[in-house]
Chain A
Amino acid sequence: MNPLGAAVSAAAVLLRGLASLVRLALRTPAGRIGLPLVVLHMVLALFGETLAPYPPTEFHIEDHQLEGPSLQFPFGTDQFGRDVLSRVMSGATSLITVAGAGALLGIVLGTVVGMSSGYKGGRTDEVVMRIMDALMSFPSLLIALLVLTSLGPNPINIAGTIGVVFIAPVARVMRSSTLAVKSLEFVDAARLRGEPNVYIIFREILPNTLPVLAVEASVRFSYSILLVASLGFLGLGVQPPSSDWGLMISESRIFITGAPWVALAPAGAVASLVIGVNLLADGIKQARELPKREA
């Protein structure tokens, strides 16, 4: 089996896992609240701009500057008279794509590094994990600031930075669950068949670590959202005039006492997304501890 084949089969395993995870999530109250929240944000990410009542950049300067919530503008308007609801809805796309891409990159790289290192063991494992420790000892926001100020704030750089930063924590978790699975006898049985290491790691061990991976992935995703929003707030996210939740909060802080809705709406959006993702993760985790239905 070549590495490409392994990757394809790993992807198939991941997809199958996803379907069973949704079923699993719906078995607990946390999952039943979290899943719709996450789905809502996904819909916003895909169709937010189309669904929005106004174009996000349309000015209503003449008569609607910093207006409170009304039927016409449910979340009010900002200093240029732009509809806050439309801006929040269309801001989902960039944030979720960038945060999702960054988290995904981190999860994939972290899984590969962590599982390989854990499976290999010995001195290699020791060296790899010390490097991961070093990586973890930098605050992630600081690394992101450093990279983005030197390379420029574009979405690819943001996602890439998040990916690299997340390798270490994901690798740690995946390594420990690999260690637990590695000691089971079916891994010995695979070795005795003469299976190559890549096959053993991705075909034999990976399916057994999927539940752990799923929880870790959702945790990473929510951290990634917070990170992207923070970068946006600091002005290193998506550049104006496109809407970005972090940036919207940042811009609105000048008149936060007079028109709090301009800050509250994007803040609520970030919060509900993060809470949704966390609830979903919790739900899956709890459902896993319930006895299996078919057993």
Chain B
Amino acid sequence: MATTITATLETTATRTADADQPLLKVDGLSVTFFTPTGAVHAVRDASFEIKRGEVVGLVGESGCGKSTMAYAIMGYLPGEPEVGGAVYLDGQNMAELGPAELRALRGNRIAMVYQHPALALNPTMKIGPQIEEVIKVHLDLNAVQVTERAMELIESVGLPDPERIAQSYAHQLSGGQQQRIVIAMALACDPDLLLMDEPTTGLDVTTEATILDLVADLKGRVNAGILYVSHNLGVVARVADRVVVMYAGQTVEEAPVRDLFKDPRHPYTVGLLSCVPKPVADEGAVTRLQSIRGSVFPSTQADPGMCLFADRCPMATDRCTGEAPAPVSLGGAHETRCFYPGEVSPDLWDECIEREAPRENGKEPTLTVKGLHRVYGQWQRKYLFFGPKVKPPVRAVESVDFNVGAGHTVGIVGESGSGKSTVARSIVGLVPRDSGDLELRGEDLPAETDERNAGQKASIRMVFQNPTSSLNPKLPVRHNILRPLQKFTDMSAKEREERACELLESVGLDASYMDRQPLQLSGGQQQRVALAAAFAGDPDLIVADEPVSALDVSVQAQVLNLLEDHQRENGTSYVFISHDLGVVRYVSDEIVVLYAGHVAESGPAEDVLSTPSHPYTEALLSAAPIPDPDAIPTPIRLSGSVPKQHEQFKGCFFASRCPRKLGDVCDNTPPPMQSSPGSPTHEIHCHIPLEKLARLQDNSVITPA
């Protein structure tokens, strides 16, 4: 396939350039934007190279200038920024090119893949013509050749039935398919350089895995350099040959992928690595997660002539605050921007503190969920009251059961569309359930918040995904904490004020934050205020819906550790919802794996994550990116997406995507519930007998060498 692609293309003189010369050389690049409120130093000093056939990963927290860098390489920066340094493509300084030459370059020799495929595709054009458009602009081919090439491209990104895809509109494709099309468009002219800006961030983990496979595959097929921008270390470990770490607009460390993960030589890199929960496959949930204190050096400040990381660095000295470090080469293409690369060690960010032993198993469950069921919408007719039925109801949750023990954390995992948010919102009463029972300490809970009494409202609190929108931006922090106290306790105004300060301190913020506006706080601080507000009524149960997925990895740990400490002190139970298996495993005592509104598997965390497990759990585990370049990718991949329409499943809910499907029995008979003999609370809904499942899975797991 790849050979035909390259064969149809003309080769220009520059394309056969010397192999030793870097394809792309970024040399001391800086980008400063001038806004009405002052200069923004998006990129300060970035240097790195990309060779042909190489994937370079660019990582860093949000606000580190990763995306600006990608746009600067394209010569496609908004406004009129001041650009310092230079970008060379095959030795050609990009700054010397005129607008017309740049236009000819973009899409042809440099192509970009964006984060949101749905926004990168034109919704009013069919896929085929959209791809053909790119080819027509840059290549001199006749109509028949153009169509042929478009078909080749669609096929080359692993999409079956290219004719059908070419006739579809973007909205008819799933997110993964859309991203494949965007990649196909980027490959249309066989580019020399491919820039991928967080291409899998908006996708489900199972889809992400298939896209990463595609990128890894492309690396071998096309003779292009790839810059892969991501905030996710696991993803970068999976695809990159070399990694560049950015901090506050500077490249702080650059190394071959194995060196960077095994022997990091910049405190920031070490910090990032120790912020991520350990891979699910090892026994690593025993130490507490670390976080990097403070926040990224503000891009609005001019270069202070010091190490920009010094404020957050545990090993900063007077030299770090008095002098700006230059990149030092450590040999073997390993560079770091630190004065003391020899002193950087993995336990730099405090000793690994052991987590305390698991808590006593609560006898009486705090919350019991039985047969929870919820469907959104109802059948609608095409012409109000007449015509064929269109727009079916959407399945959210169908028969979900689980218990949350006192002082326990139940983690709920699943892809988008699996119904996990609906479960959360049904428990707190924001989405009334259609049927099923909820019991709070054996007492029946009404379906809607408004029907619940004050005690019940105070007992169940919720923490939302996006802290920026869960705090009212027009009201001060004070409001968010005092109001629940006013509602749920009978304290006097003075007592409330004192308690609010206590609560703020318990989440690591001092009383001066009371009068701040939420928008003045960083994402991590906002989420901590949200936690303080949730703790306000001394709740028995906190439902946390993806509480850390909107946060940078460097502050995720703060929130997770706060939740854990609160639980140990107050015996609060949690329902913790996340799509990230690593995070769920870190926090959970029990795990419920949801798929299409059904429980696929549930039980104690360790049992769920070890064999035998439901084929869906197995696929999730297999797809989770591991921040270890030596991890051998496991072969199980799911195609398609979670079925959404509300049809009663005749057989197994997972039958349409199951990699271990037995045959007709899966299509026609609902799966039985099996529990393993060793752990009676571990339940798997599958037709395959557990012993066979365990055997199959043990054989397919490839243990790292």
Contact = CB atoms under 8 A, between A and B. Distances in A.
Interface stretch (B13-21, B398-406, B472-480): B472-480
A188 interface: yes
Nearest to B470: A185
Contact of A295 (B37, B449, B466, B480): B37
B428 interface: yes
B483 A192 contact: no
Contact of B470 (A189, A210, A290, A291): A189
A121 interface: no
A123 interface: no
Given A189-B464, A291-B37, A208 B473 contact: yes
Given A185-B465, A188-B464, A294 B472 contact: no
B470 A186 contact: yes
Nearest to B448: A191
B35 A189 contact: no
B385 to A, nearest CB: 15
A290 B429 CA distance: 39
A292 B483 contact: no
Contacts of B466: 185
Given A194-B457, A207-B472, A295-B519, A189 B36 contact: no
B475 to A, nearest CB: 7
A185 B449 contact: no
A8 interface: no
A230 B470 CA distance: 47
A189 B533 contact: yes
B462 A192 contact: yes
B470 A194 contact: no
Nearest to B536: A193
Contacts of B461: 192
A195 interface: yes
A284 B408 CA distance: 52
A294 B520 CA distance: 8
Interface-centre pick from B461, B483, B520 (highest chain A CB count, 10 A) = B483
B471 interface: yes
Contact of B457 (A184, A192, A207): A192
A189 B430 CA distance: 10
Interface in A151-199: 184-186, 188-195
B533 A191 contact: no
Given A191-B449, A291-B36, A207 B475 contact: yes
Given A291-B37, A292-B37, A293-B37, A186 B469 contact: yes
B262 interface: no
A191 B472 contact: no
A251 interface: no
B359 interface: no
Nearest to A199: B483
B389 interface: no
B627 to A, nearest CB: 30
Contacts of B533: 189
A258 to B, nearest CB: 52
A193 B461 CA distance: 8
B484 interface: yes
Contacts of B469: 184-186
Given A191-B449, A295-B519, A186 B36 contact: no
Contacts of B428: 192
Given A192-B457, A292-B37, A207 B474 contact: yes
Nearest to B475: A207
A208 B464 contact: no
Contacts of B475: 204, 207
Interface in B420-471: 428-430, 449-450, 452, 454, 457, 461-462, 464-466, 469-471
A291 B470 CA distance: 22
Interface residues of A, number: 21
A290 B36 contact: yes
B411 to A, nearest CB: 21
B391 interface: no
A239 B487 CA distance: 56
Interface-centre pick from B450, B461, B469, B533 (highest chain A CB count, 10 A) = B469
Given A186-B470, A293-B37, A193 B483 contact: yes
A163 to B, nearest CB: 27
Contacts of B471: 186
Interface string A253-291: 000000000000000000000000000000000000011
Given A185-B470, A207-B474, A192 B430 contact: yes
Contacts of A207: 472, 474-475
A186 B457 contact: no
A208 B472 contact: yes
B491 to A, nearest CB: 15
Contacts of A191: 430, 449-450
B449 A208 contact: no
A265 to B, nearest CB: 40
A143 B477 CA distance: 47
A194 B454 contact: yes
Contacts of A295: 37, 519
A204 B36 CA distance: 30
Interface-centre pick from A190, A194, A210, A293 (highest chain B CB count, 10 A) = A194
A290 B474 CA distance: 18
Interface-centre pick from B473, B474, B520 (highest chain A CB count, 10 A) = B474
Interface string A200-232: 000010011010000000000000000000000
A292 B35 CA distance: 11
B614 to A, nearest CB: 31
Contact of B487 (A185, A188, A195, A291): A195
A291 B464 contact: no
B472 A194 contact: no
A194 B451 CA distance: 10
A120 to B, nearest CB: 13
20 contacts: A185-B464, A185-B465, A185-B469, A185-B470, A186-B469, A186-B471, A186-B472, A188-B430, A188-B464, A189-B470, A192-B428, A192-B449, A192-B457, A192-B462, A193-B457, A194-B452, A290-B36, A293-B37, A294-B520, A295-B37
Closest 5 CB pairs of A and B: A207-B474, A185-B470, A185-B464, A184-B469, A186-B472
Given A204-B475, A290-B36, 4 more contacts: A188-B470, A189-B480, A192-B430, A207-B475
